[in-house]
Structure 1
Protein backbone atom coordinates (compact mmCIF):
# COMPACT_ATOMS: atom_id res chain seq x y z
CA UNK A 1 0.00 0.00 0.00
CA UNK A 2 1.64 3.32 -1.00
CA UNK A 3 2.10 5.98 1.64
CA UNK A 4 3.90 9.29 2.00
CA UNK A 5 7.11 9.49 4.02
CA UNK A 6 6.53 10.53 7.62
CA UNK A 7 7.09 14.10 8.70
CA UNK A 8 5.64 14.87 12.13
CA UNK A 9 3.57 12.37 14.05
CA UNK A 10 -0.16 12.82 13.47
CA UNK A 11 -2.09 12.58 16.76
CA UNK A 12 -5.89 12.57 16.86
CA UNK A 13 -7.94 14.04 19.71
CA UNK A 14 -11.42 15.39 20.36
CA UNK A 15 -12.59 17.10 23.54
CA UNK A 16 -15.66 14.83 23.54
CA UNK A 17 -13.40 11.82 24.28
CA UNK A 18 -13.92 12.78 27.93
CA UNK A 19 -17.58 12.26 28.90
CA UNK A 20 -16.92 13.87 32.31
CA UNK A 21 -17.73 11.01 34.66
CA UNK A 22 -17.81 11.42 38.41
CA UNK A 23 -14.18 10.98 39.60
CA UNK A 24 -15.36 8.10 41.80
CA UNK A 25 -16.57 6.09 38.80
CA UNK A 26 -14.57 2.90 38.24
CA UNK A 27 -13.87 3.90 34.63
CA UNK A 28 -11.18 6.63 34.69
CA UNK A 29 -12.77 8.88 32.08
CA UNK A 30 -10.67 11.94 33.02
CA UNK A 31 -7.56 10.26 31.61
CA UNK A 32 -8.47 11.32 28.06
CA UNK A 33 -8.41 15.04 28.80
CA UNK A 34 -5.26 14.80 30.91
CA UNK A 35 -3.48 12.70 28.26
CA UNK A 36 -4.12 15.39 25.66
CA UNK A 37 -2.95 18.12 28.03
CA UNK A 38 0.30 16.30 28.82
CA UNK A 39 1.15 15.81 25.16
CA UNK A 40 0.86 19.58 24.64
CA UNK A 41 2.68 20.44 27.87
CA UNK A 42 5.58 18.17 26.95
CA UNK A 43 5.83 19.48 23.40
CA UNK A 44 4.72 16.37 21.51
CA UNK A 45 1.80 18.32 20.07
CA UNK A 46 1.70 22.05 19.40
CA UNK A 47 -1.19 24.01 20.87
CA UNK A 48 -4.02 23.58 18.38
CA UNK A 49 -2.04 20.85 16.66
CA UNK A 50 -4.35 17.89 17.15
CA UNK A 51 -6.11 16.27 14.22
CA UNK A 52 -9.80 16.55 15.18
CA UNK A 53 -12.12 13.80 13.99
CA UNK A 54 -15.74 13.95 12.96
CA UNK A 55 -18.12 11.72 14.93
CA UNK A 56 -18.58 8.34 13.28
CA UNK A 57 -21.66 8.18 11.09
CA UNK A 58 -24.41 5.64 11.58
CA UNK A 59 -23.45 4.07 8.25
CA UNK A 60 -19.89 3.50 9.46
CA UNK A 61 -21.08 2.07 12.76
CA UNK A 62 -23.42 -0.36 11.01
CA UNK A 63 -20.47 -1.89 9.17
CA UNK A 64 -19.43 -3.55 12.43
CA UNK A 65 -22.55 -3.40 14.61
CA UNK A 66 -26.19 -4.46 14.30
CA UNK A 67 -28.40 -1.58 13.12
CA UNK A 68 -30.74 -1.98 16.10
CA UNK A 69 -27.85 -1.58 18.55
CA UNK A 70 -26.42 1.43 16.69
CA UNK A 71 -29.84 3.09 16.73
CA UNK A 72 -30.25 2.40 20.45
CA UNK A 73 -26.93 4.10 21.25
CA UNK A 74 -27.61 7.07 19.00
CA UNK A 75 -31.03 7.62 20.57
CA UNK A 76 -29.88 6.79 24.11
CA UNK A 77 -32.37 3.93 24.41
CA UNK A 78 -29.93 1.17 25.35
CA UNK A 79 -31.57 -1.21 27.82
CA UNK A 80 -30.57 -1.20 31.47
CA UNK A 81 -29.30 -4.77 31.10
CA UNK A 82 -27.11 -3.79 28.14
CA UNK A 83 -25.78 -0.75 30.04
CA UNK A 84 -24.86 -3.02 32.95
CA UNK A 85 -22.84 -5.19 30.55
CA UNK A 86 -21.10 -2.09 29.19
CA UNK A 87 -20.38 -0.74 32.67
CA UNK A 88 -22.00 2.68 32.52
CA UNK A 89 -25.13 4.44 31.29
CA UNK A 90 -25.23 5.37 27.62
CA UNK A 91 -26.41 8.96 27.87
CA UNK A 92 -25.92 11.74 25.32
CA UNK A 93 -22.34 12.45 26.42
CA UNK A 94 -21.35 8.78 26.24
CA UNK A 95 -23.03 8.35 22.85
CA UNK A 96 -21.14 11.36 21.48
CA UNK A 97 -17.89 10.21 23.08
CA UNK A 98 -18.28 6.78 21.51
CA UNK A 99 -18.96 8.23 18.07
CA UNK A 100 -16.02 10.63 18.32
CA UNK A 101 -13.59 7.97 19.57
CA UNK A 102 -14.64 5.73 16.70
CA UNK A 103 -14.36 8.57 14.21
CA UNK A 104 -10.96 9.22 15.75
CA UNK A 105 -9.76 5.73 14.92
CA UNK A 106 -11.11 6.04 11.37
CA UNK A 107 -9.18 9.31 10.97
CA UNK A 108 -6.09 7.76 12.59
CA UNK A 109 -6.19 4.94 10.05
CA UNK A 110 -6.52 7.33 7.12
CA UNK A 111 -3.59 9.39 8.42
CA UNK A 112 -1.54 6.23 8.88
CA UNK A 113 -2.10 5.33 5.24
CA UNK A 114 -0.92 8.81 4.22
CA UNK A 115 2.02 9.20 6.61
CA UNK A 116 2.98 5.68 7.68
CA UNK A 117 2.03 6.11 11.33
CA UNK A 118 -0.63 7.94 13.34
CA UNK A 119 -2.03 7.65 16.87
CA UNK A 120 -5.35 8.28 18.54
CA UNK A 121 -5.67 9.57 22.10
CA UNK A 122 -8.57 7.14 22.60
CA UNK A 123 -9.71 3.91 20.96
CA UNK A 124 -9.18 0.23 21.51
CA UNK A 125 -12.72 -0.54 22.71
CA UNK A 126 -12.31 -4.17 21.79
CA UNK A 127 -15.03 -5.80 23.92
CA UNK A 128 -17.90 -4.40 21.85
CA UNK A 129 -19.28 -7.06 19.51
CA UNK A 130 -21.82 -6.89 16.73
CA UNK A 131 -24.95 -6.95 18.87
CA UNK A 132 -23.83 -4.85 21.80
CA UNK A 133 -21.16 -3.36 23.99
CA UNK A 134 -19.35 -4.80 27.00
CA UNK A 135 -16.43 -4.11 29.32
CA UNK A 136 -16.49 -0.28 29.03
CA UNK A 137 -16.72 -0.60 25.23
CA UNK A 138 -19.73 0.90 23.44
CA UNK A 139 -18.57 0.70 19.82
CA UNK A 140 -15.61 -1.34 18.55
CA UNK A 141 -13.71 1.52 16.96
CA UNK A 142 -11.00 -0.62 15.37
CA UNK A 143 -13.57 -2.95 13.82
CA UNK A 144 -15.51 -0.01 12.43
CA UNK A 145 -12.37 1.60 11.01
CA UNK A 146 -11.13 -1.66 9.47
CA UNK A 147 -14.50 -2.26 7.84
CA UNK A 148 -14.60 1.32 6.54
CA UNK A 149 -11.17 1.06 4.90
CA UNK A 150 -12.05 -2.28 3.35
CA UNK A 151 -15.41 -1.02 2.10
CA UNK A 152 -13.74 1.99 0.46
CA UNK A 153 -11.09 -0.17 -1.18
CA UNK A 154 -8.27 1.67 0.60
CA UNK A 155 -6.81 -1.62 1.87
CA UNK A 156 -7.21 -5.27 1.01
CA UNK A 157 -5.92 -6.90 4.19
CA UNK A 158 -5.87 -5.76 7.81
CA UNK A 159 -4.02 -6.87 10.95
CA UNK A 160 -5.33 -6.12 14.43
CA UNK A 161 -2.38 -6.45 16.84
CA UNK A 162 -3.91 -6.20 20.30
CA UNK A 163 -1.67 -5.91 23.39
CA UNK A 164 -4.33 -4.86 25.90
CA UNK A 165 -4.22 -7.07 29.01
CA UNK A 166 -7.75 -8.26 28.22
CA UNK A 167 -8.47 -10.50 25.27
CA UNK A 168 -10.06 -8.73 22.28
CA UNK A 169 -13.21 -10.83 22.34
CA UNK A 170 -15.48 -8.41 20.51
CA UNK A 171 -12.97 -7.97 17.71
CA UNK A 172 -12.53 -11.73 17.41
CA UNK A 173 -16.29 -12.22 17.14
CA UNK A 174 -16.82 -9.43 14.62
CA UNK A 175 -14.11 -10.73 12.29
CA UNK A 176 -14.66 -14.47 12.76
CA UNK A 177 -14.65 -15.99 9.27
CA UNK A 178 -13.45 -12.74 7.64
CA UNK A 179 -10.30 -13.72 5.66
CA UNK A 180 -9.26 -10.13 4.99
CA UNK A 181 -8.74 -9.37 8.70
CA UNK A 182 -6.28 -11.19 10.96
CA UNK A 183 -6.87 -10.74 14.69
CA UNK A 184 -4.10 -11.26 17.24
CA UNK A 185 -4.39 -10.84 21.01
CA UNK A 186 -1.62 -11.00 23.62
CA UNK A 187 -3.40 -10.96 26.97
CA UNK A 188 -3.59 -12.26 30.52
CA UNK A 189 -4.97 -15.78 30.50
CA UNK A 190 -6.71 -15.33 33.87
CA UNK A 191 -8.26 -11.96 33.15
CA UNK A 192 -11.55 -10.68 31.70
CA UNK A 193 -13.46 -11.86 29.72
CA UNK A 194 -14.25 -15.22 31.27
CA UNK A 195 -15.17 -16.64 27.87
CA UNK A 196 -12.56 -15.85 25.22
CA UNK A 197 -13.74 -16.54 21.66
CA UNK A 198 -10.78 -17.44 19.46
CA UNK A 199 -8.84 -14.75 17.66
CA UNK A 200 -6.83 -15.86 14.63
CA UNK A 201 -3.90 -15.97 17.06
CA UNK A 202 -4.24 -15.79 20.83
CA UNK A 203 -1.20 -15.64 23.11
CA UNK A 204 -2.41 -15.97 26.73
CA UNK A 205 0.13 -15.11 29.42
CA UNK A 206 0.22 -16.09 33.11
CA UNK A 207 -0.06 -13.64 35.99
CA UNK A 208 3.18 -11.82 36.89
CA UNK A 209 4.71 -12.42 33.46
CA UNK A 210 7.02 -9.39 33.73
CA UNK A 211 8.94 -7.42 31.11
CA UNK A 212 11.43 -10.01 29.91
CA UNK A 213 8.99 -12.86 29.46
CA UNK A 214 6.46 -10.56 27.79
CA UNK A 215 8.97 -9.16 25.32
CA UNK A 216 10.18 -12.68 24.56
CA UNK A 217 6.84 -13.59 22.94
CA UNK A 218 6.87 -10.64 20.56
CA UNK A 219 9.15 -12.06 17.83
CA UNK A 220 6.89 -15.07 17.33
CA UNK A 221 3.76 -12.89 17.43
CA UNK A 222 5.14 -10.33 15.00
CA UNK A 223 6.57 -12.80 12.49
CA UNK A 224 3.46 -14.97 12.56
CA UNK A 225 1.15 -12.01 12.14
CA UNK A 226 3.19 -10.63 9.25
CA UNK A 227 3.22 -13.99 7.46
CA UNK A 228 -0.43 -14.84 8.06
CA UNK A 229 -1.96 -11.39 7.66
CA UNK A 230 0.20 -9.84 4.91
CA UNK A 231 -1.42 -6.56 6.01
CA UNK A 232 -1.83 -3.27 4.20
CA UNK A 233 -2.38 -1.62 7.60
CA UNK A 234 -1.95 -2.58 11.25
CA UNK A 235 -4.22 -1.44 14.05
CA UNK A 236 -2.10 -1.54 17.19
CA UNK A 237 -3.86 -1.59 20.56
CA UNK A 238 -1.25 -0.33 23.03
CA UNK A 239 -3.20 -0.90 26.24
CA UNK A 240 -1.25 0.03 29.36
CA UNK A 241 -3.25 -2.26 31.64
CA UNK A 242 -0.50 -4.93 31.61
CA UNK A 243 1.36 -2.52 33.95
CA UNK A 244 2.26 -3.65 37.45
CA UNK A 245 0.35 -0.75 39.02
CA UNK A 246 -2.84 -1.20 36.99
CA UNK A 247 -5.73 -2.34 39.18
CA UNK A 248 -7.13 -4.58 36.40
CA UNK A 249 -3.78 -5.83 35.15
CA UNK A 250 -1.78 -8.79 36.50
CA UNK A 251 1.09 -9.07 34.02
CA UNK A 252 3.43 -6.78 36.02
CA UNK A 253 5.06 -4.81 33.21
CA UNK A 254 7.01 -1.62 33.97
CA UNK A 255 6.91 1.71 32.14
CA UNK A 256 10.15 0.70 30.42
CA UNK A 257 8.64 -2.65 29.45
CA UNK A 258 5.61 -0.99 27.91
CA UNK A 259 7.82 1.44 26.00
CA UNK A 260 9.99 -1.37 24.68
CA UNK A 261 6.88 -3.33 23.68
CA UNK A 262 5.62 -0.35 21.70
CA UNK A 263 9.04 0.27 20.18
CA UNK A 264 9.38 -3.30 18.98
CA UNK A 265 5.87 -3.49 17.54
CA UNK A 266 5.95 -0.12 15.80
CA UNK A 267 9.52 -0.61 14.61
CA UNK A 268 8.81 -4.06 13.19
CA UNK A 269 6.04 -2.83 10.91
CA UNK A 270 7.57 0.52 10.03
CA UNK A 271 10.84 -1.18 9.04
CA UNK A 272 8.74 -3.12 6.53
CA UNK A 273 6.88 -0.08 5.25
CA UNK A 274 3.53 -1.12 6.70
CA UNK A 275 1.33 1.71 8.02
CA UNK A 276 0.33 1.54 11.68
CA UNK A 277 -2.67 3.14 13.40
CA UNK A 278 -2.16 3.25 17.16
CA UNK A 279 -4.96 3.32 19.75
CA UNK A 280 -4.48 3.59 23.50
CA UNK A 281 -6.54 0.66 24.78
CA UNK A 282 -7.13 0.03 28.47
CA UNK A 283 -5.64 1.53 31.60
CA UNK A 284 -7.41 1.61 34.95
CA UNK A 285 -5.33 3.20 37.68
CA UNK A 286 -7.23 5.64 39.92
CA UNK A 287 -4.21 7.96 39.80
CA UNK A 288 -5.24 9.90 36.70
CA UNK A 289 -1.91 11.75 36.40
CA UNK A 290 0.16 8.56 36.42
CA UNK A 291 -2.28 6.76 34.17
CA UNK A 292 -2.45 9.54 31.59
CA UNK A 293 1.36 9.76 31.51
CA UNK A 294 1.53 5.99 31.06
CA UNK A 295 -0.78 6.28 28.05
CA UNK A 296 1.58 8.87 26.51
CA UNK A 297 4.21 6.17 26.17
CA UNK A 298 2.60 5.15 22.88
CA UNK A 299 2.80 8.67 21.48
CA UNK A 300 6.34 9.26 22.74
CA UNK A 301 7.60 6.05 21.20
CA UNK A 302 5.69 6.66 17.97
CA UNK A 303 7.33 10.10 17.74
CA UNK A 304 10.70 8.34 17.57
CA UNK A 305 9.63 6.98 14.19
CA UNK A 306 8.59 10.42 12.89
Structure 2
Protein backbone atom coordinates (compact mmCIF):
# COMPACT_ATOMS: atom_id res chain seq x y z
CA UNK A 1 0.00 0.00 0.00
CA UNK A 2 1.28 3.46 -0.93
CA UNK A 3 1.58 5.70 2.11
CA UNK A 4 -0.02 9.15 2.08
CA UNK A 5 2.64 11.80 2.83
CA UNK A 6 1.47 14.00 5.72
CA UNK A 7 3.39 17.09 6.83
CA UNK A 8 2.97 18.11 10.47
CA UNK A 9 4.69 19.99 13.26
CA UNK A 10 3.43 20.19 16.87
CA UNK A 11 4.12 23.93 16.86
CA UNK A 12 1.46 24.49 14.21
CA UNK A 13 -0.60 24.93 17.39
CA UNK A 14 0.43 28.25 18.96
CA UNK A 15 -1.54 27.39 22.13
CA UNK A 16 -4.18 30.13 22.12
CA UNK A 17 -6.78 30.36 24.86
CA UNK A 18 -9.68 27.93 24.20
CA UNK A 19 -12.06 30.92 24.10
CA UNK A 20 -10.08 32.81 21.45
CA UNK A 21 -12.02 33.54 18.24
CA UNK A 22 -9.44 31.58 16.24
CA UNK A 23 -9.62 27.85 17.13
CA UNK A 24 -5.86 27.28 17.31
CA UNK A 25 -6.25 23.95 19.12
CA UNK A 26 -7.74 22.38 15.99
CA UNK A 27 -4.26 21.53 14.68
CA UNK A 28 -3.61 19.30 17.69
CA UNK A 29 -7.13 17.85 17.57
CA UNK A 30 -6.76 17.09 13.86
CA UNK A 31 -3.74 14.89 14.61
CA UNK A 32 -5.76 13.21 17.36
CA UNK A 33 -8.54 12.49 14.85
CA UNK A 34 -6.08 11.21 12.24
CA UNK A 35 -4.48 8.96 14.85
CA UNK A 36 -7.84 7.58 15.99
CA UNK A 37 -8.73 6.75 12.36
CA UNK A 38 -5.40 4.96 11.82
CA UNK A 39 -4.38 7.40 9.12
CA UNK A 40 -1.25 8.55 10.95
CA UNK A 41 -0.06 4.96 11.41
CA UNK A 42 -0.54 4.24 7.71
CA UNK A 43 0.97 7.53 6.49
CA UNK A 44 4.53 8.71 5.96
CA UNK A 45 5.04 11.64 8.33
CA UNK A 46 7.28 14.61 7.56
CA UNK A 47 8.24 17.52 9.83
CA UNK A 48 9.24 20.93 8.42
CA UNK A 49 11.60 23.50 9.88
CA UNK A 50 10.71 27.20 9.79
CA UNK A 51 10.72 28.85 6.36
CA UNK A 52 13.71 31.18 5.90
CA UNK A 53 13.02 34.88 5.42
CA UNK A 54 14.24 34.63 1.81
CA UNK A 55 11.35 32.24 1.04
CA UNK A 56 8.79 34.43 2.77
CA UNK A 57 10.07 37.46 0.87
CA UNK A 58 9.18 35.88 -2.45
CA UNK A 59 5.48 36.45 -1.70
CA UNK A 60 5.60 39.27 0.89
CA UNK A 61 7.30 42.60 1.26
CA UNK A 62 10.58 42.05 3.07
CA UNK A 63 9.84 44.81 5.59
CA UNK A 64 6.68 43.02 6.68
CA UNK A 65 8.53 39.68 6.88
CA UNK A 66 11.13 41.26 9.14
CA UNK A 67 8.46 42.75 11.40
CA UNK A 68 6.84 39.32 11.84
CA UNK A 69 10.17 37.60 12.49
CA UNK A 70 11.08 40.28 15.05
CA UNK A 71 7.56 40.36 16.55
CA UNK A 72 7.24 44.07 15.81
CA UNK A 73 4.08 44.05 13.69
CA UNK A 74 2.15 47.34 14.14
CA UNK A 75 -1.01 47.16 16.24
CA UNK A 76 -3.23 48.20 13.32
CA UNK A 77 -1.99 45.25 11.26
CA UNK A 78 -2.37 42.88 14.22
CA UNK A 79 -5.99 44.04 14.44
CA UNK A 80 -6.43 43.21 10.74
CA UNK A 81 -4.91 39.77 11.38
CA UNK A 82 -7.03 39.19 14.47
CA UNK A 83 -4.38 38.33 17.05
CA UNK A 84 -1.01 39.42 18.43
CA UNK A 85 2.00 38.29 16.40
CA UNK A 86 4.14 37.02 19.27
CA UNK A 87 7.02 34.54 19.19
CA UNK A 88 4.75 31.46 19.03
CA UNK A 89 2.63 32.95 16.24
CA UNK A 90 5.68 34.02 14.23
CA UNK A 91 7.13 30.53 14.56
CA UNK A 92 3.92 28.72 13.60
CA UNK A 93 3.48 31.00 10.59
CA UNK A 94 6.99 30.27 9.30
CA UNK A 95 6.55 26.55 10.00
CA UNK A 96 3.24 26.43 8.11
CA UNK A 97 4.84 28.06 5.06
CA UNK A 98 7.73 25.60 5.07
CA UNK A 99 5.21 22.81 5.59
CA UNK A 100 3.31 23.83 2.47
CA UNK A 101 6.56 24.03 0.48
CA UNK A 102 7.39 20.50 1.66
CA UNK A 103 3.86 19.34 0.86
CA UNK A 104 4.22 20.70 -2.67
CA UNK A 105 7.53 18.89 -3.14
CA UNK A 106 6.10 15.64 -1.81
CA UNK A 107 3.11 15.99 -4.13
CA UNK A 108 5.44 16.43 -7.10
CA UNK A 109 7.24 13.23 -6.04
CA UNK A 110 4.30 11.10 -4.91
CA UNK A 111 1.29 12.61 -6.71
CA UNK A 112 -0.60 13.64 -3.56
CA UNK A 113 0.37 15.00 -0.15
CA UNK A 114 -1.32 16.80 2.76
CA UNK A 115 -0.27 19.48 5.23
CA UNK A 116 -1.99 19.61 8.62
CA UNK A 117 -1.88 23.43 8.50
CA UNK A 118 -1.81 26.09 5.80
CA UNK A 119 -4.37 27.76 3.61
CA UNK A 120 -3.74 31.26 5.01
CA UNK A 121 -5.20 32.89 1.93
CA UNK A 122 -6.10 36.36 3.24
CA UNK A 123 -2.49 37.47 3.74
CA UNK A 124 -1.46 39.73 0.89
CA UNK A 125 1.97 40.92 -0.20
CA UNK A 126 2.02 43.95 2.13
CA UNK A 127 0.64 42.45 5.35
CA UNK A 128 -1.51 39.77 6.93
CA UNK A 129 -5.28 39.82 7.47
CA UNK A 130 -8.18 37.60 8.49
CA UNK A 131 -6.31 35.24 10.87
CA UNK A 132 -3.53 34.88 8.24
CA UNK A 133 0.02 36.11 8.92
CA UNK A 134 1.82 34.75 5.83
CA UNK A 135 0.19 33.33 2.69
CA UNK A 136 1.73 29.86 2.77
CA UNK A 137 0.38 28.73 -0.61
CA UNK A 138 1.71 31.88 -2.30
CA UNK A 139 5.08 31.38 -0.61
CA UNK A 140 5.20 27.73 -1.67
CA UNK A 141 4.17 28.51 -5.24
CA UNK A 142 6.91 31.12 -5.52
CA UNK A 143 9.57 28.90 -3.93
CA UNK A 144 8.77 26.03 -6.29
CA UNK A 145 8.62 28.30 -9.32
CA UNK A 146 11.89 30.04 -8.40
CA UNK A 147 13.63 26.69 -8.06
CA UNK A 148 12.30 25.38 -11.36
CA UNK A 149 10.41 22.58 -9.61
CA UNK A 150 7.05 23.67 -11.07
CA UNK A 151 6.27 26.35 -13.65
CA UNK A 152 2.47 26.39 -13.96
CA UNK A 153 0.50 26.21 -10.71
CA UNK A 154 -3.25 25.89 -10.19
CA UNK A 155 -4.75 26.98 -6.86
CA UNK A 156 -8.17 25.49 -6.06
CA UNK A 157 -9.59 27.25 -3.00
CA UNK A 158 -12.81 25.80 -1.55
CA UNK A 159 -12.63 27.67 1.77
CA UNK A 160 -15.92 29.49 2.36
CA UNK A 161 -14.08 32.84 2.32
CA UNK A 162 -12.64 34.16 -0.90
CA UNK A 163 -8.87 33.76 -1.27
CA UNK A 164 -8.43 37.49 -1.72
CA UNK A 165 -4.78 37.69 -0.66
CA UNK A 166 -3.78 34.91 -3.04
CA UNK A 167 -5.72 36.54 -5.88
CA UNK A 168 -3.97 39.86 -5.29
CA UNK A 169 -0.49 38.36 -5.06
CA UNK A 170 -0.89 36.53 -8.38
CA UNK A 171 -3.10 39.07 -10.19
CA UNK A 172 -0.46 39.71 -12.86
CA UNK A 173 1.13 36.24 -12.98
CA UNK A 174 -0.06 34.22 -16.02
CA UNK A 175 1.56 30.99 -14.80
CA UNK A 176 -0.49 30.84 -11.58
CA UNK A 177 -4.27 30.36 -11.86
CA UNK A 178 -6.53 31.05 -8.88
CA UNK A 179 -9.97 29.43 -8.54
CA UNK A 180 -12.03 30.44 -5.50
CA UNK A 181 -15.51 29.06 -4.69
CA UNK A 182 -16.90 30.94 -1.71
CA UNK A 183 -19.85 32.58 0.00
CA UNK A 184 -20.88 35.72 -1.88
CA UNK A 185 -21.83 37.66 1.27
CA UNK A 186 -19.05 36.39 3.52
CA UNK A 187 -15.67 37.88 4.45
CA UNK A 188 -13.97 39.74 2.83
CA UNK A 189 -16.65 42.37 2.28
CA UNK A 190 -14.79 43.74 -0.75
CA UNK A 191 -13.69 40.84 -2.94
CA UNK A 192 -10.51 40.69 -4.97
CA UNK A 193 -10.52 39.29 -8.52
CA UNK A 194 -9.39 35.69 -8.81
CA UNK A 195 -8.82 34.18 -12.25
CA UNK A 196 -12.12 32.37 -11.62
CA UNK A 197 -14.52 33.30 -8.83
CA UNK A 198 -17.67 31.33 -7.99
CA UNK A 199 -19.90 33.26 -5.59
CA UNK A 200 -22.48 31.18 -3.72
CA UNK A 201 -25.61 32.42 -1.92
CA UNK A 202 -26.09 31.87 1.80
CA UNK A 203 -27.50 28.45 2.64
CA UNK A 204 -26.10 26.62 -0.41
CA UNK A 205 -26.45 22.86 0.21
CA UNK A 206 -24.49 19.81 -0.95
CA UNK A 207 -25.95 19.18 -4.40
CA UNK A 208 -25.91 22.78 -5.60
CA UNK A 209 -22.41 23.27 -4.24
CA UNK A 210 -21.08 20.21 -6.03
CA UNK A 211 -22.63 21.30 -9.32
CA UNK A 212 -20.85 24.64 -9.06
CA UNK A 213 -17.56 22.97 -8.11
CA UNK A 214 -17.73 20.52 -11.01
CA UNK A 215 -18.34 23.39 -13.42
CA UNK A 216 -15.55 25.46 -11.86
CA UNK A 217 -12.97 22.69 -12.11
CA UNK A 218 -13.80 22.09 -15.77
CA UNK A 219 -13.62 25.79 -16.56
CA UNK A 220 -10.31 26.18 -14.71
CA UNK A 221 -8.66 23.40 -16.70
CA UNK A 222 -10.10 24.81 -19.92
CA UNK A 223 -8.61 28.24 -19.19
CA UNK A 224 -5.40 26.87 -17.64
CA UNK A 225 -4.49 23.50 -19.18
CA UNK A 226 -1.69 21.22 -17.97
CA UNK A 227 -0.61 22.74 -14.66
CA UNK A 228 2.49 21.17 -13.13
CA UNK A 229 1.00 21.23 -9.62
CA UNK A 230 -2.25 22.08 -7.87
CA UNK A 231 -2.70 23.41 -4.34
CA UNK A 232 -6.06 22.45 -2.82
CA UNK A 233 -7.26 24.62 0.09
CA UNK A 234 -9.70 22.28 1.82
CA UNK A 235 -11.41 24.63 4.28
CA UNK A 236 -14.28 23.00 6.19
CA UNK A 237 -16.03 26.29 6.93
CA UNK A 238 -18.73 25.72 4.25
CA UNK A 239 -20.17 23.21 6.78
CA UNK A 240 -23.70 23.83 8.07
CA UNK A 241 -22.48 23.99 11.69
CA UNK A 242 -19.59 26.38 11.08
CA UNK A 243 -20.09 29.61 13.01
CA UNK A 244 -18.51 31.76 10.26
CA UNK A 245 -19.60 29.80 7.19
CA UNK A 246 -23.21 30.69 6.19
CA UNK A 247 -23.35 27.73 3.76
CA UNK A 248 -25.01 24.38 4.51
CA UNK A 249 -22.73 21.50 3.54
CA UNK A 250 -22.90 18.27 5.55
CA UNK A 251 -19.99 16.02 6.54
CA UNK A 252 -20.92 13.83 3.57
CA UNK A 253 -20.99 16.90 1.35
CA UNK A 254 -17.47 17.87 2.42
CA UNK A 255 -16.22 14.35 1.65
CA UNK A 256 -17.91 14.38 -1.76
CA UNK A 257 -16.43 17.82 -2.45
CA UNK A 258 -12.91 16.66 -1.61
CA UNK A 259 -13.32 13.43 -3.58
CA UNK A 260 -14.61 15.33 -6.61
CA UNK A 261 -11.76 17.84 -6.62
CA UNK A 262 -8.93 15.42 -5.87
CA UNK A 263 -10.20 12.79 -8.31
CA UNK A 264 -10.65 15.41 -11.04
CA UNK A 265 -7.06 16.60 -10.65
CA UNK A 266 -5.41 13.20 -10.20
CA UNK A 267 -7.24 11.68 -13.21
CA UNK A 268 -5.52 14.37 -15.28
CA UNK A 269 -2.12 13.51 -13.85
CA UNK A 270 -1.86 16.73 -11.83
CA UNK A 271 0.03 16.40 -8.52
CA UNK A 272 -1.99 17.83 -5.63
CA UNK A 273 -0.79 19.45 -2.40
CA UNK A 274 -3.64 19.70 0.13
CA UNK A 275 -3.60 22.35 2.86
CA UNK A 276 -6.04 22.79 5.71
CA UNK A 277 -7.90 26.09 5.23
CA UNK A 278 -10.52 27.49 7.58
CA UNK A 279 -12.89 25.91 10.05
CA UNK A 280 -14.57 27.63 13.00
CA UNK A 281 -16.62 25.69 15.51
CA UNK A 282 -17.23 25.87 19.24
CA UNK A 283 -17.03 22.06 19.30
CA UNK A 284 -13.31 21.63 18.77
CA UNK A 285 -13.35 17.81 18.72
CA UNK A 286 -15.89 17.86 15.89
CA UNK A 287 -13.81 20.45 14.07
CA UNK A 288 -10.72 18.25 14.27
CA UNK A 289 -12.69 15.30 12.86
CA UNK A 290 -14.11 17.51 10.10
CA UNK A 291 -10.63 18.61 9.04
CA UNK A 292 -9.62 14.93 8.93
CA UNK A 293 -12.09 14.24 6.11
CA UNK A 294 -9.78 15.38 3.30
CA UNK A 295 -6.98 13.18 4.65
CA UNK A 296 -9.24 10.12 4.50
CA UNK A 297 -10.24 10.96 0.94
CA UNK A 298 -6.60 11.57 -0.05
CA UNK A 299 -5.58 8.23 1.47
CA UNK A 300 -8.10 6.50 -0.82
CA UNK A 301 -6.46 8.08 -3.88
CA UNK A 302 -2.72 7.60 -3.27
TM range (shorter): over 0.9
Aligned to 1:3: none
State the 1:219 CA deviation: 2.1
TM-score normalised by the chain length of structure 2:
0.98
Aligned to 1:89: 84
1:305 is aligned to 2:283: no
Pairing partner for 2:249 from 248, 253, 273: 253
State the 1:48 CA deviation: 9.5
Cα separation, 1, equivalents of 2:110 and 2:43:
20
Q: Retained in 2: the 8 A contact 1:158–1:229?
A: no
Q: Retained in 2: the 8 A contact 1:112–1:275?
A: yes
Post-superposition CA distance 1:128-183 (Å, at most 9, x none): 00000000000000000000110001111000000000000000000011001000
Aligned to 1:110: 105
Pairing partner for 1:296 from 278, 281, 292: 292
Cα separation, 2, equivalents of 1:172 and 1:28:
25
Aligned to 2:179: 184
Q: Aligned to 2:45, what secondary structure does the other structure show?
A: coil
Pairing partner for 2:65 from 56, 70, 77: 70
Which stretches in structure 1 are left out of the alignment for 5+ residues? 1-5
Post-superposition CA distance 1:90-119 (Å, at most 9, x none): 000000000011111000000000000000
Q: Aligned to 1:142, what secondary structure does the other structure show?
A: helix
For the aligned residue pairs, the C-alpha RMSD in angstroms reads: 1.1
- Aligned residue-pair number: 301
Aligned to 2:269: 273
Q: Aligned to 2:46, what secondary structure does the other structure show?
A: coil
Cα separation, 1, equivalents of 2:239 and 2:7:
24
Q: Retained in 1: the 8 A contact 2:159–2:238?
A: yes
Decide which moves more: 31-40 or 119-128: 31-40
Q: Retained in 1: the 8 A contact 2:3–2:44?
A: no
1:171 is aligned to 2:185: no
Which stretches in structure 2 are left out of the alignment for 5+ residues? none
Q: Retained in 2: the 8 A contact 1:123–1:279?
A: yes
Counterparts of residues 186-265 of structure 1 (less than 5 Å): 186-230=181-225, 231-265=227-261
1:35 is aligned to 2:18: no
Cα separation, 2, equivalents of 1:156 and 1:22:
41
